[in-house]
Structure 1
């Protein structure tokens, strides 16, 4: 089954297999998301999940702690830590 990921800032709509890491989808599509460490500790890939937050993988402890330190709202995630389980709309925020 495939999912649709809409990168809002560049109005880029791509399809990928369900369960694909958002980082892999963004890289393959050439989406304008900067990835620094790719391990969830730098925050350069911070995104807002405008639609479909419930279709993203659960947040791990490291990602949760990092975003809590930024006082980030619940709709923000680190793109390098998200696996896409369904259609989502993504807005890149950066750090």
Structure 2
């Protein structure tokens, strides 16, 4: 079973494969901030510190809310991210505030 390490709250849990970061935080009191659970508020933004290769692909909701710059730095939305191996993540209240204030970017189709 994968290990999910919440660095900021100093908690670590074994979780089932294909587990949602946010759902596991709620289930085991990992303390990841959250509000909507649907990818629009940005409250559950977290940085994948280790194990980026063990998370699923970026969802459209994350691209819209976080933008390419934050995604390239390893930030993801906990409600949209699923783990398939050991992952360590952290969160920063200042980044959370910034992401919450961001307007959702409309994605354009590639030509």
Question: Normalized against structure 1, the TM-score is what?
Answer: 0.89
Unaligned residue ranges in structure 2 (runs of 5+): 98-111
Q: State the aligned residue count.
A: 93
Deviations 1:26-57 (A, max 9, x none): 01110111211111011000000000111111
* Larger Rg, first or second structure (1 or 2): 2
Structure with greater strand percent: 1
Find the counterpart in structure 2 of residue 80 from structure 1: 79
Query: What does 1:31-46 align with in structure 2 at a 5 Å threshold?
Result: 31-46=30-45
Question: Normalized against structure 2, the TM-score is what?
Answer: 0.77
Unaligned residue ranges in structure 1 (runs of 5+): none
Aligned-partner Cα distance in 2 for 1:35–1:62: 15
Aligned-partner Cα distance in 2 for 1:59–1:21: 13
Structure with greater helix percent: 2
CA contact (8 A) 2:2 2:17 kept: yes
Q: Cα offset for 1:73?
A: 4.5
Find the counterpart in structure 2 of residue 12 from structure 1: 11
Find the counterpart in structure 2 of residue 47 from structure 1: 46
Aligned-CA RMSD value? 1.4
Q: Cα offset for 1:83?
A: 0.6
